[in-house]
Chains A and B, each alone.
Chain A
Amino acid sequence: MKREPPQSIADYGPLFFPAGMLLIFFVVPFGTMIAVSFFKRQEGGFYTPAFVFSNYERFLSAFFGGVLGFSLMLAVTVAICCVVLALPFTYLLSRLSRRLQVIWLVGLLSVLSLSEVIIGFAWSTLLSRTAGLSNLFVKIGLLDQPVALFPSFGAVLTGMVYQALPYTILVLYPAIVRLDPTLMEAARTLGSSPIRAFFNVLVPALRNTIMATLIMVFIFALGSYLLPQILGRPQHWTLSVLITDQAIYQSNMPFAAAMAVFLVLVTLGLVALTLLIGRKGEKA
């Protein structure tokens, strides 16, 4: 059966339910959020329709500017750590037998699906004084007595890299699996060591994929909201945490909405950049 343009209303039938659901429950809520970001807040958690920019002005103040800066810095760091760790790993993974690959993929998917709450809990246990790694260090004589390794910036970073690493590997996986294996073989026959070949042949060949992955992991990390709360101190809170805080605990929906709209703009800008890189990659 060839694909053909819809002839009658009935041909559009399958589209009605999905289109309706997505329009009503994604597009309309999204629009509502944008509208609310211009509303005026009233005491007691209510808001009245208006068209004011005060929410945005407040967001651009020094404090929230600092939080935004920290969130972006944290997400960039996480993205770089993840790609650096994941790139050689994914390459080695793609070279494994299919059976081993499947086992690794199941493990990665299982970790990827873990709730942030669970990741936060698991790492807070691992970094705790009573049940954590430091006990191990005491046993082998590196430390005199067990210490708590969280809350700290390092703990937040570790937790977030843990959360984003399976995601990074799974994003890199298709591109690396589809890579022409003769590329590496040629480099090897010409006498370069595997590590040299990896950096001089593989990495340049994957340049666009790596850029796109960095941006996708960055967006993924930007969405983290619980790990900074569980593993960090208040100065490690990110924009996502503040949005939740304003919406739920401060009952300031217009302000939360304004921050969320800003976050969308940052994200969309980066998605556009990813697409642009992808298109360039196709041409090359």
Chain B
Amino acid sequence: MIRWLKRFYFLVIGLFLSLPLIVVAGVSVNAKQTLAFPPQGFSLSWYGEIFSNTEWRSALIASVVLATTSAALAVLIALPLSWFLWRRIAPWANIFQVLGIAPFTLPPVITALGLLTFWATTGFYGQPWTAVIGHAIFFVTLPLVTLSLGFSAIDRSFVEAAATMGANDRTIFRTVVLPLILPYLVSGYAFAFVLSLNEYIVAYMTVGFTLETLPIKIFNALRYGYTPTMASVTILFVFTAAVIFSLVAKFGDLPKLLGAMASDEP
């Protein structure tokens, strides 16, 4: 009985999480431009539309450029900070860790509005690069968390050995520490990248009128009614996220990254 109940429960949660996406996937392969499920006919033309239609393509490019650069900037902020916190005794410096986590903890509209007032006051409102900084600050939490985890997993005696052999901080960082934390760095980047790709409010409030990312494009299109391209973009996004997280899981320890302790469990 209990076994059956368990399976049923997994099935219900699985259906709840996947049903909207299954319907959208069905809609995305409709042959005609209608919102219909089950799909009428089969066509992949709406997927082609993302790349051939200039508006959707430029939104796709904007999103990818924004996600690659802002995730890189987030890592550039998180890496030296977590290295410093691991290497030095400076309790007050933890305040920067808190600052790095705060934007992600507060409702996103607050970070977005703060940046909007800031860019409006400084006169840079609407510049595409402001969104890069906005996303980097908003998502710096992710590499910060994965990197802190990575640093805490390093055996200090390795570093001790390198120091005894005469290596300085810089050499130790490059030859010992960096290879050890690389998986955490990559997964921090991956998390920030995927979330930036999907982020709406910060991008919208900072550059929404000058730079249209895919989520902004979908929302704007949604106001004027339905186009099947939205469905194909949605599926493309879920697919991208699933592939990236699968890669993280393949090359790193996903349960550990998400807070489970040992990796020697079943």
Contacts and interface: CB of A to CB of B under 8 A. Distances in A.
Contact of A88 (B9, B17, B81, B218): B9
Contacts of A105: 245, 249, 254-255, 258
Interface in B166-180: 172
A110 interface: yes
A18 B77 contact: yes
A282 interface: no
Interface in A1-59: 1-6, 11-12, 14-15, 17-19, 21-23, 25-30, 32-33, 36
A232 interface: no
B114 A30 contact: yes
Interface of B: 2, 6, 9-10, 13-14, 16-21, 23-24, 26-27, 34-37, 76-78, 80-81, 83-84, 86-90, 93, 96, 99-100, 102-103, 105-118, 120-121, 133-134, 136-137, 140, 156, 159-160, 162-163, 172, 194-195, 197-201, 204-205, 208, 215-216, 218-219, 222, 230-231, 234, 237-238, 241-242, 245-246, 249, 254-255, 258-261, 265-266
Contacts of B83: 14
- Dominant SS among interface residues on chain B: helix
Contact of A18 (B34, B81, B237): B81
A28 B118 contact: yes
A232 to B, nearest CB: 14
B1 to A, nearest CB: 10
A114 to B, nearest CB: 6
A32 B118 contact: yes
A101 B118 CA distance: 43
A12 B169 CA distance: 12
Interface of A: 1-6, 11-12, 14-15, 17-19, 21-23, 25-30, 32-33, 36, 85, 88-89, 92, 97-98, 101-102, 105-111, 113-123, 125-126, 128, 130-132, 135, 162, 165-166, 170, 173-174, 177-178, 194-195, 219, 222-223, 225-226, 230, 240, 243-244, 247-248, 253, 256-257, 260, 263-264, 267, 271
A169 B216 CA distance: 28
A14 B99 contact: no
Nearest to A10: B169
A85 B13 contact: yes
B19 A126 contact: yes
Contacts of A219: 105-107
B24 A115 contact: no
Contacts of B108: 223, 225
A102 B254 contact: yes
A130 B27 CA distance: 11
B246 to A, nearest CB: 5
Contact of B156 (A2, A25, A178): A2
B23 A125 contact: yes
